[in-house]
Amino acid sequence: MVTRSQTDRSLLSRIFVGPTKGRTVRRSIFFLLLLVAVIGPWIVTHDPIRPDPFNTLAPPSAEHWFGTDRLGLDIFSRVVAGTRTDFTLALIGVLLGGGLGSLMGAWAAYRRGWVDTVLLRVVEVLQSFPVLLLGLALFAALGSLDIFEPFLFGPFDDTGKVVLTIAIASVNFPSYLRQVRSVLLPLTDAEFVQAAKCSGLGGWGIVWKHFIPNARGQILALFALTCAYAIQIIAGLSFIGLGIEPPHPEWGAMIREGATVIIQGKWWASLFPGAAIALSVYSLTGFSVGSDTPIDPASPSS
Amino acid sequence: MKMLWKRTPPFMAAMLGLALVVSACGTTETVTETVEVVVTSIVTETETVTETVEVEVVVTSIVTEVVTETETVTETVEVMVEEDRTLRVAIPDDVEHLDPNFGSANLTNLVLKNTYMQPVQYLPGLSQGRYSYADTTSFEGQWVETWDFSDDSTTLTLKLRQGLVFPTSGRSVTSDDVIYTIERAFGVPSGPAWVLGNIGVTSIDQVERVDDRTLILNDIRPSTIVLPLMRDQSMGLLDSEAIKANATDDDPWATTWLSQNYAGNGRYVIDSWDRGSKMVLKANPTWPGRQPFFDTVDLIVVPESANRLALLQNGEVDIAMNLSAQEEELAAASDGVSVLSIPDRNSMNVLLNTRQPPFDNVDLRKALAYAVDYDAMVNGVFKGQAVPSEGPISVNSRFFPLFGLGDSWAYEYDPDKAREHLAAAGFPDGFEFELIASQGLPIADAVAANLKANFSDIGVDMTIRPVSGAEMFESLAGLSHQAAFRGGLLDYIDDPYYHFYLWWLTDTVINWTGFTNDRVDEIVVETAGLLDDGARRGPYREAISLVVDAAPMLWLANANFTLAISEDISGYTHHPDGLMWFANLERTS
């Protein structure tokens, strides 16, 4: 049920304050993590990629808050630095896959016919691969190629990150396409679409101005969920050794690194990056649950 | 707050997961497994008697104590009987195949060495406490009873040991088996053909059969490494009849059959091979000499190093191979377990490709050599289980003091000097390059991360790319790498000619740096036939200086050979090839 008080709030308050206390807490955690990702380089206590070989697997202490790993790298600094890596790759990967998927989903719904059929077959093929297998295949096909080198910049300073982003985008593209298509399919013959056509607006113009806004709620709801899932995929692929160039920090790779010593009672090397993943995924659910309510296009405020 | 907890199942699930992880920490896997086994068996026994959960728990706990005690007593008795003459070794991976011609991975070579009989083997040297080094200047005959070189060392007469039998067929060994083994080496060009070629035997026509037990190798190359090469695991004697019986038109040397079947007569024979799980070796009953202490050797495949450690700590295996440095520290601290740390010639090197930019520039290579913090590498990364390397010949080689090589080394940790070389090379602000390192090799991660930090101090940006073993070899063989880290580089023979022939001759077998120097080539060729170490000293000192000055490698450290072993196992003899020789091992009370 949509109440007047929920829908009248400003956009900013709707982003920060959830419909329940629980969601507000989760959103706060997310923005805190986002802040950590932005200011990470200024709050780390040690260089996250400089090992201290004389101080390996040190337990948490005043010097190393989260301890050190097998190479003598400071885990706190790496967890902080890993926030930027995981958030950046997850957000950009989802934006890329989700954006393209939404656009193509809307286009499929508008055009129907062979365009719709071809696009659906493409996403069926993509979705038939298990996520990790798809990631492995992409790394096998693209990982050793030099084609990305001229484009490496900013957060994408190695080929592994680019391929990881492509993997995230490939996983998300089908989900968005299907979701948006199914939402917009009933609107193909709607009066406002016919009116737009009569006014001379082209196909892409109709999709952009009239179709996409009608799927906004579903896209945003999906966005939060898929970002959470993307973080898990990045960690999963890094856990099996794909992705980030060592020793650059990434949570999944850190868990893998720590897993080799956990049986020796060195719990800290895996626990803290694991907790960071759990916290991130948990915080992102604060946006997905019920996010369709305050931005429902049919609501009085929209 | 209460509502918050109620409405946040994901949070609670995450916390529950974390709690499970924490609770799992500090409890060894073995203990958990033991408890599970006992409880399972008890529950099975008491299922029919008990119906309610409460009653079952009570009964189980009572019976557990009784049965546990009973089991312990039973096991102790069995251990006394079974393990007395059985050596159990936990290995990380399975043996690849059983054909001596194609030995490659260390574990495969280890099995081939112990189950096939080579012409000769090293004699044990002086005891160093819990181990001894093999005496690389003394040999004992295996299938050879005596060997005689002609005065000019171009002819070698071999007399077969009396009474040798192939245990699988019961057939006596004759000269024909030796000739077949050499013929097969040339027919299946691989390891033994290379070994034979190095001692000058390139054709079967050079092998002369005198009688059933006598052979002469004619026109061989005089060399210091003839006998050391003949102890190679690839020189195992083959049962010619067994192999011929399994040859086909498509596979005349029965390579497919021999890869999975046994046709040898080593000090141990292969009793069974449960692929991926366990291989059982039995002492060869037909060996005419003294039988080894252990009549059975179980090679148990345990992929996880942590599990190998746990098995050793619990006394379920006697030796755990390939543990990490941290696990060896834990093993050394355990009751009844010790870690042999044997100074060795194991080289930990970065191979720079001298034929491609950027390392076709000698100043850049020298810049990196001065930028490495060797002390941090030896005492930090290798935890003191290594010594600084001082060039191509290991400081633990017997030739290092013999040739007085201490003054040939040039590089110490000196970032200022490194920057000078960078400037001289025209890269005062540094440069970028890629290092490839073997995937999943813990020591490679540690070495590479430390090097990256060292190099970044002088403005050099090194990218680390983990690669598979196959990609590593492809890059090295094709010289397509810029830099590669290789750990555990060990010449199977401790000899400067052998080392230079393998590494530094232009375009030679494993010249993975692309190094070329005309004077070095001359020296290697000129000294090939020299048998007197005094005569070789001068030329090799010159060659070594030339190689060190060119800095085609970063010689990081000579790591110790380490082996986690039960304290009641004695008699370990360390061979230059690093492959264990089971026949010398014993269990002491």
User: In sequence order, what DSSP letters do the residues of B372-422 get, joined into one string?
Assistant: --HHIIIIIITTTSEEE--SSS-TTSTHHHHTTGGGS------HHHHHHHH
Task: Please tell me if residue B4 touches chain A, with a CB cutoff of 8 Å.
Answer: yes
Nearest CA in chain B to A257: B442
* B86-318+568-587 against B344-560: fold identical: no
Nearest Cα of chain A lies from the Cα of B514 at a distance, in angstroms, of 23
Task: Please tell me if residue B7 touches chain A, with a CB cutoff of 8 Å.
Answer: yes
SS3 B87: strand
Alpha-carbon distance of B180 to B313, in angstroms, equals 46
Nearest CA in chain B to A71: B446
**Which of A53, A57, A264 lies at the smallest CB-CB distance from B376?**
A53
- Residues of chain B positioned with their CB less than 8 A from the CB of A259: none
The answer on pLDDT for B229 being more than 60 is yes
Start-to-end CA distance of chain B, whole Å, equals 64
The answer on pLDDT for B26 being more than 70 is no
Task: Please tell me if residue B453 touches chain A, with a CB cutoff of 8 Å.
Answer: yes
H/E segment holding residue B123:
strand B120-127
Share of chain A above pLDDT 90, in %: 38
- Tokens, residue B271: 């009793």
Task: Answer for the pair B177, B240: CB distance below 8 angstroms, yes or no.
Answer: yes
Task: Please tell me if residue B446 touches chain A, with a CB cutoff of 8 Å.
Answer: yes
| Domain B86-318+568-587 part of CATH 3.40.190.10 | yes
Nearest Cα of chain A lies from the Cα of B308 at a distance, in angstroms, of 12
Task: Please tell me if residue B8 touches chain A, with a CB cutoff of 8 Å.
Answer: yes
Nearest CA in chain B to A277: B14
**Which of A50, A72, A245 lies at the smallest CB-CB distance from B463?**
A245
Give residue limits of the domains in chain B: 2-80, 86-318+568-587, 344-560
Distances (CA, A) of A99 to A96, A126, A204, B418, B569: 5, 17, 14, 49, 65
Where residue B343 falls (left for φ over 0; alpha for ψ -120 to 50; beta otherwise) is beta
- Tokens, residue B91: 């290995």
**Which of B22, B439, B442 lies at the smallest CB-CB distance from A267?**
B22
What pLDDT is stored for residue B105 in this prediction? Answer: 79
Are B21 and A267 inside 8 Å of each other by CB?
A: yes
Alpha-carbon distance of B524 to B225, in angstroms, equals 14
**Mean pLDDT over residues B529-557, rounded?**
95
Share of chain B above pLDDT 90, in %: 67
- Tokens, residue B307: 């599990």
What pLDDT is stored for residue A135 in this prediction? Answer: 83
Task: Please tell me if residue B332 touches chain A, with a CB cutoff of 8 Å.
Answer: no
**Mean pLDDT over residues A176-183, rounded?**
91
Distances (CA, A) of B124 to A126, B579, B581: 62, 14, 10
The pLDDT-based confidence of B434 (bands split at 50, 70, 90) is: very high
Task: Please tell me if residue B510 touches chain A, with a CB cutoff of 8 Å.
Answer: no
| Residue to substitute from B28, B373, B445, interface A, most A β-carbons within 10 A | B445
Pairing of strands B131-141, B120-127: antiparallel
SS3 B351: strand
Task: Answer for the pair B391, B544: CB distance below 8 angstroms, yes or no.
Answer: yes
Q: Is the dihedral of CA B430, B432, B436, B442 positive or negative?
A: positive
The answer on pLDDT for A66 being more than 70 is yes
- Best CA proximity match to A22, nearest among B16, B8, B13: B8
What pLDDT is stored for residue B40 in this prediction? Answer: 30
Q: List the alpha helices (DSSP H) in B1-102.
A: 2-6, 9-24, 29-46, 53-82
| Residue to substitute from A232, A263, A283, interface B, most B β-carbons within 10 A | A263
Query: What order do you get walking across the sheet with B572-574 strand by strand?
Result: B120-127, B131-141, B572-574
Alpha-carbon distance of B572 to B132, in angstroms, equals 6
What pLDDT is stored for residue A155 in this prediction? Answer: 66
Nearest CA in chain B to A24: B4
Are A265 and B26 inside 8 Å of each other by CB?
A: yes
What pLDDT is stored for residue A154 in this prediction? Answer: 65
Nearest Cα of chain A lies from the Cα of B85 at a distance, in angstroms, of 31
Task: Answer for the pair A258, A264: CB distance below 8 angstroms, yes or no.
Answer: no
Nearest Cα of chain A lies from the Cα of B316 at a distance, in angstroms, of 18
**Mean pLDDT over residues A218-229, rounded?**
86
The pLDDT-based confidence of B14 (bands split at 50, 70, 90) is: very low
Q: What is the pLDDT of residues B470-513, one digit of tens each?
A: 888 899 999 999 999 998 788 889 999 999 999 999 998 789 99
Are B14 and A50 inside 8 Å of each other by CB?
A: no
Nearest CA in chain A to B7: A22
Q: Among all chains, which residue has been given the structure tokens 């201290």?
A: A52
| Residue to substitute from B1, B25, B308, interface A, most A β-carbons within 10 A | B25
Share of chain A above pLDDT 70, in %: 87
**Which of A51, A57, A265 lies at the smallest CB-CB distance from B449?**
A51
The pLDDT-based confidence of A126 (bands split at 50, 70, 90) is: confident
Task: Please tell me if residue B448 touches chain A, with a CB cutoff of 8 Å.
Answer: yes
* 0.95 exceeded by pTM: no
Note the CATH architecture for domain B344-560: Roll (3.10)
Chain A residues with CB within 8 Å of chain B CB? 20-22, 25-26, 47, 49-54, 56-57, 70-73, 158, 241, 245-247, 260-265, 267, 270-271, 274-275, 278-279, 281-282, 285
- Residues of chain A positioned with their CB less than 8 A from the CB of B305: 260
Q: What is the pLDDT of residues B266-280, one digit of tens each?
A: 999 999 999 999 999
ipTM: 0.75
Residues 6+ apart with CB under 8 A from A65: A45, A76
Start-to-end CA distance of chain A, whole Å, equals 15
- Residues of chain A positioned with their CB less than 8 A from the CB of B446: 51, 53, 70-71
Task: Answer for the pair B430, B452: CB distance below 8 angstroms, yes or no.
Answer: no
Are A262 and B8 inside 8 Å of each other by CB?
A: no
